[in-house]
A and B are shown apart, each in its own frame.
Chain A
Amino acid sequence: MSLRKTNSVKHIDCDILIVGGGFAGCGAAYEAGYWGRGLKIVIAEKANIERSGAVAHGLSAINCYMGMRWGENTPEDFVRYARGDLMGLVREDLLFDVARHVDATVHMFEEWGLPMMYNKETGRYQREGKWQIMIHGESYKPIIAEAAQKSVDEVYNRVMITHLLTDAHNSRRIAGAIGLDVRDGTFYVFRAKAVIVGAAGASHIYRPRSIGEGAGRTWYPPWNNGSAYALLMQAGAEMIQMENRIVVTRFKDGYGPVGAWFLMLKSVATNAYGEEYEKAHLDSLRSYVGAKYADAKPMPTCLRNHLMLEEIKAGKGPIYIHTERSLDTREKEELGWEDFLDMTVGQAVMWASQNIDPKEDPSELTMSEPYVMGSHAVCAGAWVSGPEDFAPADYNWGYNRMTTVEGLFGAGDTVGGSAHKFSSGSFTEGRLAAKAAVRYIRDHQDYKPELNTNAVERIREDVYRPLENYNVGRHVIVKGSVSPFFITPKQGLQRLEKIMDEYCGGVSSYYSTNEKLLDRGLLLLQMLKEDARKIGAEDLHQLQRTWELNHRIWVAEAVMRHTLFRKETRWPGYYYRADYPHVDDQKWHVFVSSRYDPATDQWEMNSKPVHHIVP
């Protein structure tokens, strides 16, 4: 049954390879097309670019827009906001850079045909909150994908990048990537002068709350598997803030986002007895994290989670969001429904199935399992060079958004320390990275990337090994999935999720962990890493799942190592180090960084200073 086609190899030579055609990748494509006249630019996308990534569904809001033309916000305001939300630890240079450009991106989207909502009274975009604007966004992704497709020479859909390749003569310089065509099994060898990675963060690192069919309805899409991080780490790029995972408060089970309901429709949340529980825990929060953080306006996302968790632990659930008090006109009812039909249809399905009419009934809220990403209220990702005109000296090594591997750029979820970018900011960051990549190529006209053919051959064997494992192993047993010789990708995934949930602060331990648990977790993860070489894949779909799992395991290891290194609880409500339960600004007002060295197979952990450049 095997669809093995290991003979089929395609070599693609290009100037710029964009890995992942999501929001960051599409932004990179557009800007590379503009600046890189005459350059060959290609995108490798593991799904279909028209509907891929976190915005496949659509979205109902653009969550990062300054409104500078109306004097609504300045980039400085934005930096202060994101810094407050992340308890002080952000790359202010990167945030300011996204903020100063993001309005132009949004104006371009509108011109392309994205339907914006306008406020009839002010004549401005309809605000959902201070930073968010409302859109009719069902076709948000197809619209920006149209622009991206027109900007490049080729889009390779259904080609999953499994490895990055460094130069044969310089292991600290990028030279290309390996891709697997998940439809016909072709092995792609890309040779490129510069690579921009926009391959997104990860769901299913932690065991989800629904473990049957509903495992697919995680808040963060099941198909984003952390390639952004795994690819970079294996190429030796330095990462930061990998411990900074996100837990989101959402409508229970359907995972409908709460932004429009809290910010615009002004819905309130209460415990089962109708009490507004946040107020009840404020004093204890102040003594726990200090007034500086507890009284920050707005309250950091993680701390709001913490208050809800306290209430749940006190046995006062379910927690309800009172949509029924907000939807008093047909206009508001339509707005509420469109919010979900445009971006989380599963929530509408859930309401219909449980006979919940948001106009009449409240809905339950819950806290999700943790996800690893870098563009939301969270900022895991690569350590990158900042904007030349104002980045502090130690944050700048020449090319904006270049990682510590020469010629390797990142944007969107890929980039660490630069939170709250969302869709518009990720696209903007892709644009910044692409312009810098074109400049890098121009500055290095003579550079001809050269691949190490032995390394490519080794990777080729690795990539297809799971098909071989299955073919050999299945003859020993009658039928079924129980074999002493291989595990299926699903079995491997379930083991990973169990380890992370139980040892690294998942939902079953109320997000708590400690040094002993992490040590033990790392040991079990090491054995999973070894077993991952024995995964058996029955077909190309399972081969794709195997590589997604391999990437997830890398991400998980980084999360564990970072969590172990940071000896404090910086973000209560995202996770707790029970052995160091407090925020420790004296010792830990720093970024935690890591670098995996492919040459020695060793991890090096460090910290980096946080510079506050915006008063």
Chain B
Amino acid sequence: MPTFVYMTMCDGCGKCVEMCPSDIMHIDPVNRRAFNIEPDMCWECYTCVKYCPEHAIDVRGYADFAPLGHGVTVLREAEKGAVSWKIKYRDGRIKEFTFPIRTTKWGTIPSPRTLPPPPNDAISTPLLSHEPDYLKVDSLPTLKTAKQG
């Protein structure tokens, strides 16, 4: 099943349940640990894997076409702004990569509601917030030769 959970590592915190876009990570009432309730609706998006604080979730490629013996593991360090991958081939070869994920601190994006309010009549222009400045050209382009239908 695409994602699975190691029995001895999961503490039942529910983070994966909170995050899974497919709503398929659920807590088993008997074991009080998470498991994938619908593996054929798993996209292998790795969201749950990245967010599990205990690193208890792993992926075994889809049985339809993925022979056993591989592993793709991930460490996402949000505060450091990096994600690291380790790829283990069926035949034992290993590859490792690290990539940046964000250039600013988490939580620092300003709310548009705290920006100075736009003048009242600006609502009827075609300009969006921060325009024309953010276009980085003089003005918003328009079509002059509109053929009216």
Q: A and B: real partners?
A: yes
For B46, the chain A residues whose CB sits under 8 A away are 57, 345
Q: Does B8 contact A (CB under 8 A)?
A: no
Bound: A20/B47 CA distance, A: 19
B110 to chain A, nearest CB (A): 8
Bound: A313/B99 CA distance, A: 41
Main secondary structure of the interface of B (DSSP, over half): loop
Bound: A522/B110 CA distance, A: 51
For A387, the chain B residues whose CB sits under 8 A away are 126
Bound: A218/B118 CA distance, A: 44
Known contacts A56-B47, A151-B111; decide if A353 and B19 are in contact (CB<8 Å).
no
Chain B contact-residue range equals 35 or more
For A147, the chain B residues whose CB sits under 8 A away are 109, 112
Q: Does A393 contact B (CB under 8 A)?
A: yes
For B93, the chain A residues whose CB sits under 8 A away are 355, 357
Q: Does A611 contact B (CB under 8 A)?
A: yes
One of B70, B90, B149 near A611 (C-beta < 8 A): B149
Q: Does A30 contact B (CB under 8 A)?
A: yes
Is B19 a contact of A51 with CB atoms below 8 Å?
yes
Bound: A180/B25 CA distance, A: 19
Bound: A35/B123 CA distance, A: 7
A238 to chain B, nearest CB (A): 16
Is A544 a contact of B129 with CB atoms below 8 Å?
no
For A69, the chain B residues whose CB sits under 8 A away are 135-137
Is A113 a contact of B108 with CB atoms below 8 Å?
yes
Bound: A151/B87 CA distance, A: 39
A456 to chain B, nearest CB (A): 25
For B113, the chain A residues whose CB sits under 8 A away are 33-34, 37, 150-151
Known contacts A57-B46, A96-B143, A614-B143; decide if A68 and B126 are in contact (CB<8 Å).
no
Known contacts A56-B47, A68-B136, A349-B70; decide if A48 and B146 are in contact (CB<8 Å).
no
Is A354 a contact of B22 with CB atoms below 8 Å?
no
Q: Does A517 contact B (CB under 8 A)?
A: no
For A346, the chain B residues whose CB sits under 8 A away are 43-44, 61-62
Nearest residue, chain B, Cβ from A139: B101
Q: Does A603 contact B (CB under 8 A)?
A: no
Please name 6 pairs of A and B residues whose Cβ atoms are closer than 8 Å in the assembled complex, sorted by A. A35-B123, A107-B134, A113-B105, A150-B113, A390-B142, A609-B149
Contacts A216-B41, A541-B23 aside, 16 further interface pairs with beta carbons under 8 A come to: A30-B112, A57-B47, A76-B143, A100-B141, A100-B142, A103-B136, A147-B112, A215-B41, A349-B59, A353-B66, A355-B91, A355-B93, A389-B143, A390-B143, A431-B128, A615-B145
Chain B interface (Cβ < 8 Å from any Cβ of A): 1-2, 18-24, 26, 37-47, 59, 61-72, 74, 76, 78, 83, 85, 87-91, 93, 95, 97, 99-113, 115, 117-118, 123-124, 126, 128-131, 134-137, 140-149
